[in-house]
A and B are shown apart, each in its own frame.
Chain A
Amino acid sequence: MVTTNIAVGSALRVHEVHKSFAVPDAPGTTRLALDGISFSIAAGELVSLVGPSGCGKSTLLRLIAGLDFPDAGELLVGEEKILGPSAARGLVFQDPNLFPWLTVRRNIEAGLVARGVLEAQRHEVSDFMRLVGLEAFANSYPHHLSGGMSQRVALARALINHPKVLLLDEPLGALDAFTRMRMQDEVLRLWENRRTTMLLVTHDIDEAIYMSDRILVMTPAPGRVDRKIDIDLLRPRDRTSEPFLRLRSQILEHLHFAGTAADVSA
């Protein structure tokens, strides 16, 4: 097993972040995607970001990953400003984006190779393959894997760098319902095991309630954090318990209201 004390998460702070994009159809005009987003996540916390599609969740995640830059505002990991991509912030997309030309083992090793530490940390590769239960597929190519298996490889590939923050952009969105529930437990296990700070983007409200310490609800056009809801239920959570369902209808109602409000204003 991978030791739990190697990776301890970092706090993440997003302060008054604005981001707009050029509109391709109308040159010269821009569309505001994020309008003064602020929130902070404590070290080791698991927070979900929910909201209708087009509310800028993925844009925000790209900013935190350092793949894109805000027009205004500040993003901090611990005390450090985010200036570009870094192995300290892992990112897992909905599409696993495994490198199809590499075997499962080589995909998991990719981060070590990229940082030039493969020799020193090669022994960990097998640990991580075992962690996600894929030892038997070490030499398979990604096109032989199912969706759930691919996503587990993508998780292992991100985790082998011992990131301080793991960003999950609808990582389970493309999986069938059963696989998704299994994977939710798997991600929770990894999180409890390693206490990496996790920010999970999802539009599955059940998933958000089931997994996270806190839920940030975003509203679209332009994206704003509208509400922050603490989930104080004990894990493992029962998806059919009364408090679970109450939270669920509360969030749904809120999203529905936010949706119609946005429609009216537009």
Chain B
Amino acid sequence: MPLAGAIAFAAHLAVYKNETPMEARTYTNFLATFLIVSILIAVGQHRWRRLRVAVWRMRPLFTAAVLLLCAWELITAGWHWLPLPYFPSPAAVLQSMISDRALLFDSTWHSLVLLLAGYVLGALAAFVSGVCIGWSNSARYWGMPLLKVIGPVPATAWIPLAMVVSPSATISAAALIALAVWFPVTMLTSSGISNTRASYLDVARTLGANQRYLIFRVAIPAALPSIFVGLFMGLGASFLTLVVAESVGVKSGLGWYVSWAQGWAEYGKVFAALIIMAAFFSTIMTLLFKLRDRVLVWQKGMIKW
């Protein structure tokens, strides 16, 4: 790891003169910090066992990451293989991330609020409709055709219509995200509910269970693994819908930021926003996995993330 850090640092120094000094300084500091920390860890791990255990698994990953940064820098700033301004160097991206941090933070915040509003709304609606369709035959008769016809249409296809119907772009975007989440969650909730093992229901009935117990204490817990699969699929769909809705209608958020920065040909900012988006979405995904792991502790052999 220190070796990789050193290589990246050296490469950076070699191409340093090609950059504008202002932009390069933060990146230089960043690489220097990485180098120092990695040297400290390399030395320290011989002394503290716990540190070694902690970094052991991450070492190859960090090494690869810093080498990737190095390659990126060599290709862009070093040898100019890729045309500017479309492919800025990592130093430039880091610089635009820092200089525009207020707006980026604001955009991330707006994206988060919009995403959560739409996701929670859609997931709750889907949970209710999924349980109804999965449990009751008449709800299934009327709900299934609706689900089958409306569900497969991508939520983004409704954008033109949503713009006309709702006065506020934010509200219609939230509704579209909710719709995107609603379909997979409803589908998997209802299939989970209707596939509840009949013997669980039989046992519960011989224990004196009423309809409410059968739904809330047997069918829904039994359907939870399937519901979570739906929630994950819905989360993916909600990211897509969020970014598209933000770049065409809503005047805030990361999706908007990317297309706005592109309009000004500030590709450093585009890359900065993409990096933040990746971190943002994968954090939310990880949180959902953590939630699932807590709720489904009783399940054995879960899929790892």
Binding site for B on A (CB under 8 A): 62, 65-67, 85-87, 89-91, 93, 95, 97, 99-102, 110-111, 113-115, 141-143, 157-158, 161
Contact = CB atoms under 8 A, between A and B. Distances in A.
Interface of B: 197, 199-200, 202-210, 213, 217-218, 221-222, 224, 297-300
A67 B206 contact: yes
Nearest to B210: A114
Nearest to B202: A67
Contact of A87 (B199, B208, B218, B299): B208
A177 to B, nearest CB: 25
Contacts of B202: 62, 65, 67, 85, 91, 97
A101 B175 CA distance: 33
A89 B200 contact: no
Contact of B207 (A62, A100, A157): A157
A86 B297 contact: no
A234 to B, nearest CB: 33
A79 to B, nearest CB: 20
Contact of A93 (B199, B213, B218, B221): B199
A99 B200 contact: yes
Nearest to A62: B202
> Taking each of A87, A95, A101, A143, which has the highest tally of chain B beta carbons within 10 Å of its own beta carbon?
A101
Contacts of B209: 114
Contacts of A157: 207
A111 B204 CA distance: 8
B242 to A, nearest CB: 32
Contact of B203 (A97, A100, A143): A97
Contacts of A86: 206, 208
A93 B298 contact: no
B298 A114 contact: no
Given A101-B222, A143-B300, A110 B200 contact: no
Contacts of B222: 99, 101
A90 B206 CA distance: 6
Contact of B205 (A85, A113, A158): A85
A91 B298 contact: no
A206 B300 CA distance: 36
A89 B203 contact: no
A113 B218 CA distance: 12
Given A93-B199, A113-B213, A114-B213, A99 B206 contact: no
A101 B205 contact: no
Contacts of A67: 202, 205-206
Given A66-B206, A86-B206, A143-B299, 13 more contacts: A62-B202, A65-B202, A85-B205, A85-B206, A86-B208, A97-B199, A97-B200, A99-B222, A101-B222, A111-B208, A114-B204, A114-B209, A143-B300
Contacts of B213: 113-114
A93 to B, nearest CB: 6
Contacts of A91: 202-203, 206
